[in-house]
């Protein structure tokens, strides 16, 4: 259910995932505010750039 609104949150997460979640979530939103745009959590690249 929550995976739909937050790509970094999954129904089953390890303790390492839980600890990494705030950093990943912050980095994603910080990138949204940058000129280069966000990094896709699925591919690890910026949409449309191949980076």
Beta carbons of 11 and 22 less than 8 angstroms apart: no
pLDDT in tens, 8-41: 888 889 999 999 999 988 988 888 888 776 566 6
Q: What is the residue-wise DSSP string for 7-33?
A: TT--SS--HHHHHHHHHHHHHHHHHHT
List Cα–Cα distances, 12 to 8, 15, 17, 37, in angstroms.
11, 10, 9, 28
pLDDT at 50 over 70: no
Beta carbons of 6 and 25 less than 8 angstroms apart: yes
Beta carbons of 3 and 11 less than 8 angstroms apart: yes
pLDDT at 7 over 70: yes
């Amino acid at each position: 259910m929550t995976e739909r609104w937050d790509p970094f949150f999954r129904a089953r997460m390890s303790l390492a995932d839980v600890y990494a979640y705030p950093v990943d979530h912050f980095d994603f939103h910080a990138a949204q505010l940058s000129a280069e745009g966000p990094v896709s959590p699925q591919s690890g690249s910026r949409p449309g750039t191949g980076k």
